[in-house]
């Protein structure tokens, strides 16, 4: 989706990586490896974005120019694109599962401390789910961490005050489906 807007998939991947981690500086080799791009392709896009003013470069390291006049608008656009991609994922997920709970966190809420990006409770068909997650990761240009559990495991983890689940539920998240509260009563 973003490749149509920004002219190339490589540029969209670079923007997603740098804009959502504006404090980090990336060397060409590190960035190419992380995004699965050739060094030549990455250098070309980095140079174009630097010339545009969105990126800064020093000693073969690139980072986002947070003072760029339309930085906040570009970040907002990338966030909206993530939400659109996640909506396609959610619609597909509803077709292949019996969802009881679904929440987005991490990359979807800009919560860098989150250990998972998607929390799913319910029965999921594994192979179609892996296909959906691969498409979502391709759309977003980044790896998505997900947690899947059935209802029994969810309630057990709540009962024993599992620290992972506690942090995931009390952190910054967007709950899209919650049919568990009715079940617990």
- CA 157, 158, 162: angle at the middle one, nearest 5? 55
Look up residue 22 and give its two tokens. Answer: 């504006």
**The pLDDT of residue 162:** 94
**Residues 6 or more apart whose Cβ sits within 8 Å of residue 126:** none
Q: What is the mean pLDDT of the chain?
A: 86
Higher pLDDT, 180 or 50: 50
- In this structure, CATH architecture of domain 2-69: Orthogonal Bundle (1.10)
**The pLDDT of residue 90:** 83
Strands 26-27 and 118-124: unpaired
Among 5-19, 93-107, 118-132, the minimum mean pLDDT is found in: 5-19
Of 58, 62, 172, 57, the C-alpha closest to 117 is 172
**The pLDDT of residue 160:** 95
Query: Does 3 have pLDDT greater than 50?
Result: no
Rounded to an integer, the average pLDDT of 21-38 is 90
In the chain, where are the structural domains located? 2-69, 82-184
Look up residue 128 and give its two tokens. Answer: 């179609």
**The pLDDT of residue 159:** 92
Rounded to an integer, the average pLDDT of 157-180 is 90
Query: Does 35 have pLDDT greater than 90?
Result: no
Of 92, 76, 60, 61, the C-alpha closest to 19 is 76
pLDDT-derived band at 185, boundaries 50, 70, 90: very low
pLDDT-derived band at 7, boundaries 50, 70, 90: low
Q: What is the pLDDT of residues 40-85, one digit of tens each?
A: 999 999 999 999 999 999 988 999 999 999 988 888 788 777 766 7
Rounded to an integer, the average pLDDT of 99-103 is 92
């Amino acid at each position: 989706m973003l490749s149509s807007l920004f002219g190339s998939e490589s540029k969209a991947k670079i923007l997603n990586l740098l804009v959502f981690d504006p404090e980090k500086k990336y060397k060409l080799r590190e960035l190419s490896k992380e995004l699965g791009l050739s060094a030549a392709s990455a250098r070309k896009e980095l140079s174009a974005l630097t010339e545009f003013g969105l990126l800064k470069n020093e000693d073969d390291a690139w980072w986002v120019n947070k003072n760029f006049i339309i930085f906040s608008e570009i970040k907002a656009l990338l966030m909206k694109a993530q939400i659109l991609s996640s909506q396609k994922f959610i619609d597909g997920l509803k077709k292949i599962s019996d969802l009881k709970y679904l929440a987005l966190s991490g990359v979807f809420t800009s919560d860098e401390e989150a250990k998972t990006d998607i929390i799913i409770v319910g029965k999921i068909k594994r192979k179609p789910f892996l296909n959906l997650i691969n498409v979502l990761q391709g759309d977003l240009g980044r790896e998505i961490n997900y947690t899947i559990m059935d209802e029994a495991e969810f309630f057990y983890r709540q009962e024993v005050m599992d620290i992972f689940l506690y942090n995931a539920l009390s952190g910054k998240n967007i709950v899209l489906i919650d049919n568990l509260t009715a079940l617990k009563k």
